[in-house]
Amino acid sequence: MGCSLAYYLARAGRRVVVIDRGRIGQGATAACAGGVRAQFSTEVNIRIGMEAKRVLANFVEETGQTADFRQVGYLFLLTTDDERRRFADNVRLQRRLGMEDVVELTPADARDMVPGLRTDDLCGATFCPSDGLAGPNEVTYGYANAARRLGAVIRENTPLDGFITAGGTVRGIRTGASEIACADTVICAGPWSAPVGTMLDLAVPIEPSPRQVFVTEPFDGIGRRSPMTIDFHTSFYFHPEGEGVLFGMSDPATPPGDDTSVDWPFLDRITAVAERRWPPLLDARVKSAWAGLYENTPDFQPLVGPLEPGLWIAAGFSGHGFMMAPVIGRWLAAWMSDGAPTAELRAFAPDRFAAGGLQPERNVI
């Protein structure tokens, strides 16, 4: 998010410094599954997903580097009548907003698309062929390098020590021995944004939540163009990754926290779900695993906008920040340069929780 925003701000003529306490792209982004979709339940997220696909499809023209964007589609498998009704409503909304290629499928259609899928208990599915997968590393460095070419400075291994304030306005930041004065400071600290807010006694409602990811050795039981397949009821998902398969699942029993150690016993629980939904996975051998952090807000929508005079935030993407970065970076840079927010960004106002009237995103994996 920080690299995307830096690029669009630099393109708008702003002088930009990005600081990261580690290496860029090694936070939540490094753990990400790379999914890019517009199959959301809220209008704003559908619009962002559609725009993100356009930007990523033209990423070489934009930044000079590939996004490794593979439009293999997203297939959602639906088990209950309630899920099918809700997804049918979503498809109607998505089509009204211009997503002409999203369709409802029968369980048999889904089985034809993903050999080995067990569909006897499913009542429907949805599919959008232009959704897909992109490379988190490629996109992060694509933006970072393009931003640098426009004059942005990226300082790695530079932890934030605190903010410089005067008269209730944030005037810059302190890192180690140095101070950086700036008219605008933006918190893009992903799952660690709440501790950054605490430095100014601000309560930032973002909770880190661990997620486990497993990758197999080369496996010919899945086609290289097989879609990102999501069993919505259990949140078990899988997609081709290199010569193997990447898979994962959310665990509602995991408490919030920032523990990123691999939970190997959890693999048994995913395997039990895979046995019911996609038994071929049991023939693949797990090669590697990692855990990363979602950055959840109470309504699973991000915080994007001003927090205090001189201070902004773009964080709390609740598991969708990779695909949202190309669009949020551009919209927020335009807001910071022109002084007026894109209408869509009002849905992400950081102070919305006090005002009420939330529109939670329901298609969260």
Ligand X SMILES: Cc1cc2nc3c(=O)[nH]c(=O)nc-3n(C[C@H](O)[C@H](O)[C@H](O)COP(=O)(O)OP(=O)(O)OC[C@H]3O[C@@H](n4cnc5c(N)ncnc54)[C@H](O)[C@@H]3O)c2cc1C
- The binding site for ligand X (CB under 6 A) comprises 1-2, 19-22, 24, 26-29, 31-35, 159-160, 188-192, 196, 211, 213, 248, 292-295, 315, 317, 319-323
Q: Is the CB of 2 or the CB of 107 nearer to ligand X?
A: 2
From the CB of 221, what's the least distance to ligand X, in Å? Answer: 22
Integer angstrom CA distances of residue 303 from 100, 120, 193: 29, 40, 10
From the CB of 193, what's the least distance to ligand X, in Å? Answer: 7
- DSSP-assigned letters across all residues of 87-148: HHHHHHHHHHTT-TT-EEE-HHHHHHHSTT---TT--EEEEETT-EE--HHHHHHHHHHHHH
- Joined together, the tokens standing for residue 325 give 């970065």
Q: Is the CB of 80 or the CB of 306 nearer to ligand X?
A: 306
- Give CA torsion, residues 21, 26, 31, 33, to 10 deg: 130
From the CB of 208, what's the least distance to ligand X, in Å? Answer: 9
Which residue blocks in 238-283 are alpha helix, DSSP H?
266-277
Q: Is the CB of 28 or the CB of 281 nearer to ligand X?
A: 28
- Joined together, the tokens standing for residue 309 give 């005079």
Q: Is the CB of 105 or the CB of 323 nearer to ligand X?
A: 323
Q: Return the DSSP state at 249.
A: E
From the CB of 123, what's the least distance to ligand X, in Å? Answer: 25
Q: Is the CB of 119 or the CB of 241 nearer to ligand X?
A: 241
Residue with tokens 């009821």: 233
What residues form DSSP beta bridges with 239? 246
Task: Read off the amino acid at residue 12.
Answer: A
Residue with tokens 């999203």: 102
Q: What angle do CA 44, 49, 55 make, to 5 degrees?
A: 125
Q: Is the CB of 119 or the CB of 185 nearer to ligand X?
A: 185
CA count, 13 A, side-chain hemisphere, 10? 22
From the CB of 108, what's the least distance to ligand X, in Å? Answer: 27
From the CB of 32, what's the least distance to ligand X, in Å? Answer: 3
From the CB of 347, what's the least distance to ligand X, in Å? Answer: 17
Helix (H, G, I), strand (E, B) or coil at 20: coil
Q: Is the CB of 87 or the CB of 192 nearer to ligand X?
A: 192
